[in-house]
Amino acid sequence: MKYYLLLFLFLLQIPKGISQSFNPSTWNRESKNLAHLGLGFEFSSILQAGYERQISKKGHPKFLYLNQTIPFGNSFLDDFKTEIGYGSWYTYENFGANIRLGGIFRRLEMEKVRLLNFGSQVTVSLGYYKPKFFISAEGGFDKAIVTHFKHSASYRSSVFIDGWYNPSTGGNLHAGITAGLLAKKTDYSLAIGRIVAQDWQTNPLIPFYAKFSIAKRW
């Protein structure tokens, strides 16, 4: 039970990061690159930076992305999450649906243990997009697949041994709304939503998230 508690705490304390992205209002403006910077709150105060590259306009537009999320703490890089993924858009008139699939690497260090985790995330959004604004609903699932535990000397001798623990043992879901204003080369967005563990019953201490982002396109 202690092992499951540690992993559950790990899942709740590392933010997933809701990222700025190309959308049907902006990808036809001769821009193939997007970089974004965001500040917000998700289990803790977070800083997020990312990059997205358009790889195809034919058929359903496709993108590759990289996101780096860091919670504010005493040591800047003690905890972080890195996500690399792929996204595809499906559109009809002013409506658009986006599916993103990502691979995740994250780190969390506490007094008794340091955790390294590989996982995955799938996110789906559906929105209404105009040249100067958009609003969308988003939902996603973040799954821990395998986790490495490195314990303190005292904890290792009496409780656990170090090593990789598998199979996957937990995950969390998020759902929310994102709204944005779009300028010629700059986008501004605000995302708010709800977080719950995969059992649909367990909540983090603060079960909500909010983030403001600025993105530049070129």
CATH of the domain at 111: 2.40.160.20
| Strongest mean pLDDT among 7-11, 42-46, 213-217 | 213-217
Task: Provide the whole-model pTM.
Answer: 0.80
Q: Is 215 helix (H, G, I), strand (E, B) or coil?
A: strand
Locus of tokens 């709150």: 41
What's residue 12's pLDDT? 47
What is the domain range of residue 82?
2-217
- Higher confidence at residue 202 or residue 181? 181
Average pLDDT across the chain, whole number: 81
Query: Is the sign of the CA dihedral 37, 38, 39, 43 positive or negative?
Result: negative
Q: State percent of the chain over pLDDT 70.
A: 77
Radius of gyration of the chain from its Cα atoms, rounded to whole angstroms: 18
Q: pLDDT category, 167, cuts 50, 70, 90?
A: low
One-letter amino acid identity for 36? H
Provide the number of structural domains found in the chain: 1
Beta carbons within 10 angstroms of residue 55's beta carbon:
12
Q: Do 46 and 71 contact (CB within 8 A), yes or no?
A: yes
Identify whether the C-beta of residue 106 lies closer than 8 Å to the C-beta of residue 134: no
Q: Between residues 211 and 170, which one has the greater pLDDT? A: 211
CA distance 188 to 150: 40
